[in-house]
């Protein structure tokens, strides 16, 4: 196979099939934001530190700024828009609103997607463990108390609802 | 920032990846997990001609037991190490260390082969490999060779890998009843680069230390066994007194760098505190 500087790819974004020709140097979040208009994934640092760009690829949370769009060929991408629409994290989002678990909100979509991984296979966790899991999404405001409260509360709710048996 | 211009080549098998490496030479970079390469590109610290994406090379995946060793494919993600029952049972040091490798989203992509090939001084896995006396298998179009981890790491971001080679697998000896481990790390927040960390493996027979392989990372330029600490421990019974002697001897092994994360004297003190904790873990095991 020859090396290319543009590539034609097909992928699924929030359940929709997409075909596109992209420059190979473009990272995934630029594609989502600039080409598809899905601006819920944010770009803070573009070197994997802030976590604001977190998206799901084949169901797994990744840093969208550290993956090339061309590498998403054949993959299933979910962004905060898709997760919001499907209702998969509606309880978590409601809890964020109820507890005002954000200050400027720049980190929120990444926080939600990162926390969602904990909620898929809910098990009892200490606040320390929740903080450890979210540590890759810390930003600047230091206002994480309410975020940890929200995640702990939804986790407890899902465990009580027997979601762990699914 | 955005990555510079480069060309991209998706390898589908190992011979194809190696042939591409042969034709592009030092202008090529291997794209595995990309969790260090992509930041380097986005910062424009590196401007390669071509990226050879090996994520589709199935031969580089998998964790399996082969006789008395565990074979870990170079494309194994950190999250796979973390979740592996084989690693938990047969290489508990790795299981303890991998939790400290960055954050969940990065562990979902980053690979063991990438971490070892980069040889970042703050990385956990290179230090573990030296402590575990792992063997690394490197392939080129001409064939493959195996090298011990201690010989593989040669300096700051410097390894014995040649430009035409790809690290294809890691071979770690399986756990035995007399093998113990300890791990401790100091970082600004969980998952950040280690300021100082220690990976340690000890062979213990009749409560006596038969071998101590204590490796300091983060503050040192590359991972190597602390030889003075090892000599202090050799043949002695695990005890509080031995712990103090190992911690004292370790000072001779340290050569920490002065940087924004701390002065050399501070890092020596932190390394000694962590060494005390790690030896305590081994003593208590």
DSSP of chain B: ------EEEE-SSHHHHHHHHHHHGGGEEEESS-TTHHHHHHTTS---SEEEE-TT-GGG--EEEETTEEEEETT-BHHHHHH-HHHHHH-HHHHHHHTTSS-HHHHTT-BHHHHHHHT-TT-HHHHHHHHTT-EEEEEETTEEEEEEHHHHEEETTEES--TT-EEEEEEEEPP-TTEEEEEEEE-SSTTSPPSEEEEEEEEEETTEEEEEEEEEESSSSS--B-HHHHHHHTTPBPSHHHHHHHHHHHGGG--PPPBTTB-HHHHHHHHHHHHHHHHHHHHH-
Average pLDDT score, chain A: 95
Binding-face residues of A in 59-118 toward B, CB within 8 A: 60-63, 65-68, 70-71, 114, 117
ipTM surpassing 0.90: yes
Instruction: Write the CB contacts of A34 (distance below 8 Å, at least 6 apart in sequence).
Output: none
pLDDT band for A143, please (50, 70, 90 cuts).
confident
CA distances from A154 to A85, A94, A130, A157, B282 (A): 19, 10, 12, 5, 38
Determine the angle formed by the axes of helices A145-160 and A127-134, rounding to 10 degrees. Answer: 110
Distance from CA of B50 to the nearest CA of A (A): 7
Residue in A60, A63, A135 closest to B191 by CB = A135
Residue of B nearest to A59 (CA): B108
SS3 A108: helix
| pLDDT, average across residues B184-199 | 94
Residues of B near A (CB-CB distance < 8 A)? 1-12, 16, 20, 24, 31, 34-35, 38-39, 41-43, 50-51, 53, 55, 79, 102-106, 108-109, 189-191
Instruction: Tell me which of B92-96, B186-190, B278-282 is least confident.
Output: B186-190
A-B contacts at Cβ under 8 angstroms: 103
Measure in Å the smallest separation between the Cα of B234 and chain A Cα atoms.
37
Asked if B105's CB is within 8 angstroms of A1's CB, the reply is: no
Contact state of A68 with B108 under an 8 Å Cβ cutoff: no
Q: Which domains does chain A have, with CATH numbers?
A: 6-83 (3.10.20.30), 87-165 (1.10.150.120)
| CA closest to B188 among chain A residues | A135
**B278 token code pair:** 């790690």
Does the CB of A126 have a partner CB in chain B at under 8 Å? no
For residue A1, is pLDDT > 80? no
Q: Could you tell me if A148 lies within 8 Å of chain B, comparing CB atoms?
A: no
**pLDDT score of B232 more than 60:** yes
Q: Which residue is listed with tokens 């424009």?
A: B44
Higher pLDDT, B138 or B192: B138
Query: Among B2, B7, B42, whose Cβ lies nearest the Cβ of A5?
Result: B7
B148-166 residue pLDDT tens: 999 999 999 999 999 999 9
Q: What is the chain A residue with the closest CA to B5? A: A25
Tell me whether residues A3 and B42 touch, CB distance under 8 A: no
pLDDT for B46-97, tens place per residue? 999 999 999 999 999 999 999 999 999 999 999 999 999 999 999 999 999 9
Which pLDDT score is estimated for A166? 47
Partners of residue A43 in chain B, C-beta under 8 Å: none
Domains of chain B, earliest start first? 7-53 (3.30.43.10), 58-173 (3.30.465.10), 179-284 (3.30.390.50)
pLDDT of residue B139: 98
User: What is the rounded distance in angstroms from the CA atom of residue A87 to the CA atom of residue B81?
Assistant: 31
How confident is the model over A21-40, as a mean pLDDT? 98
Which residues between 15 and 34 in chain A have a beta carbon less than 8 angstroms from any beta carbon of chain B?
24-27, 30
Bridge partner list, B137: B146, B169
> With contacts defined as CB-CB under 8 Å, which chain A residues touch B2?
25-27, 30, 46
Statement: residue A139 has pLDDT above 90: no
Residue A165: the pLDDT is 53
Q: Do B106 and A48 touch (CB under 8 A)?
A: yes
Closest by Cβ to A24, choosing from B8, B12, B102: B8
Question: Three-state SS for A144?
Answer: coil
The confidence score (pLDDT) of residue A163 equals 55
Interchain proximity A51–B12, CB inside 8 Å: no
Name which of A3, A30, A67 is nearest B9 (Cβ-Cβ).
A3
A27 in helix, strand or coil? strand
Q: Which of B3, B12, B104, B110 has the most A C-beta neighbours within 10 Å, making it the best mutation to test the interface with A?
A: B104
% of chain B residues with pLDDT over 70 = 100
Q: Which residue has the tokens 């049972």?
A: B89
Provide the 10 A C-beta neighbour count for residue A126.
9
């Amino acid at each position: 196979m020859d090396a290319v500087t543009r590539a034609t790819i097909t992928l699924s974004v929030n359940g929709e099939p997409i075909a596109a020709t992209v420059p190979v140097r473009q990272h995934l979040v630029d594609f989502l934001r600039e080409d598809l208009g899905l601006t819920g994934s944010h770009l803070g640092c573009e070197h994997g530190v802030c976590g604001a760009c977190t998206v799901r690829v084949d169901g797994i949370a990744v840093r969208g700024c550290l993956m090339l769009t061309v590498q998403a060929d054949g993959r299933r991408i979910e962004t905060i828009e898709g997760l919001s629409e499907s209702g998969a994290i509606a309880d978590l989002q409601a809890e964020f609103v109820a507890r005002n678990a954000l200050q400027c909100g720049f980190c929120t979509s990444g926080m939600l997607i990162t926390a969602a991984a904990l909620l898929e296979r809910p098990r009892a966790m200490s606040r320390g463990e929740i903080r450890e899991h979210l540590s890759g999404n810390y930003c600047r405001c230091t206002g994480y108390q309410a975020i940890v409260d929200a995640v702990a509360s939804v986790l407890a709710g899902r465990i009580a609802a027997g979601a762990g048996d699914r | 920032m955005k990555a510079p211009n480069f060309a991209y080549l998706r390898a589908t098998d190992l011979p194809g990846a190696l042939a591409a490496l042969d034709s592009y030479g030092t202008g090529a970079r291997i794209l595995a997990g990309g969790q260090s390469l992509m930041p380097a590109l986005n910062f424009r610290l590196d401007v390669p001609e071509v990226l050879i994406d090996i994520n589709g090379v199935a031969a580089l995946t998998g964790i399996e037991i082969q006789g008395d060793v565990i074979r870990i494919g170079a494309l194994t993600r950190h999250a796979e190490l973390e979740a592996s029952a084989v690693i938990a049972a047969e290489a508990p040091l790795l299981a303890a260390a991998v939790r400290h490798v960055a954050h969940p989203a990065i562990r979902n992509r980053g690979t063991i082969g990438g971490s070892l090939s980069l040889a970042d001084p703050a990385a956990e896995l290179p230090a573990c490999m030296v402590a575990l006396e792992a063997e690394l298998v490197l392939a080129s179009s001409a064939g493959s060779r195996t090298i011990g981890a201690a010989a593989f790491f040669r300096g700051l971001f410097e390894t014995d890998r040649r430009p035409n080679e790809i690290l294809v697998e890691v071979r770690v000896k399986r756990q035995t009843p007399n093998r113990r481990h300890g791990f401790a790390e100091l970082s600004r927040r969980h998952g950040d680069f280690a300021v100082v960390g220690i990976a340690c493996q000890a062979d213990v027979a009749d409560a006596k230390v038969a071998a101590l392989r204590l490796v300091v990372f983060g503050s040192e330029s590359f991972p190597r066994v602390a030889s003075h600490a090892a000599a202090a421990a050799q043949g002695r019974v695990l005890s509080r007194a031995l712990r103090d002697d190992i911690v004292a001897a370790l000072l001779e092994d340290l050569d920490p760098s002065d940087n924004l994360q701390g002065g050399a004297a501070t890092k020596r003190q932190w390394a000694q505190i962590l060494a005390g904790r790690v030896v305590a873990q081994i003593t208590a095991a």
